[in-house]
Amino acid sequence: MGQQQLLLIILGVIIVGIAVAVGITMFQDNAVSANRDAVTNDLVQLAAKAQQYFRKPVALGGGGNTFGTATGATPLTADAAGMAVLVSTAFSNNDNGTYTISTAGTAGAIIFQGVGKTDMGGGVYPTFLCTVSAAGYQISKIN
């Protein structure tokens, strides 16, 4: 009888160990998915701000129907100064990810890059590109 109880205890410990391992894996997958959603949401906000800048006249601090190439407009350059035209420094590096201008604004488009902060394994983080034009935006998943 003692040997059977010992076998049942060992079997119970194995089942609980497997359940904990599966739970940890599911939690990590959910964390990555939530981070991807958050980065995408932040890129949509950036796209809206870029389109607002595009439509605003140069005299009011906008791009004058360009993404910073109009005479007198503050350019949306691919550096911190370009991002500062649209958002605060706190937004550029928030809890969700880090956002930069990947390709400086031209007359018709600008490209933002968002890199999430949840490690997907092996030092790889969720990365997205958001191409914004006068007509709209398109988000592409890199990984």
- What one-character-per-residue DSSP string does 11-42 give? HHHHHHHHHHHHHHHHHHHHHHHHHHHHHHHH
The predicted pLDDT at position 108 comes to: 92
The CA-based angle 101-97-30, given to 5 degrees, is 135
Q: What is the mean pLDDT of each run of 10 residues along the chain (143 residues)?
A: 88 94 86 95 96 94 90 90 89 94 93 95 95 95 93
φ/ψ region of 72 (left if φ > 0, alpha if ψ in -120 to 50, else beta) reads left
The predicted pLDDT at position 2 comes to: 81
**Domain residue spans of the chain:** 2-141
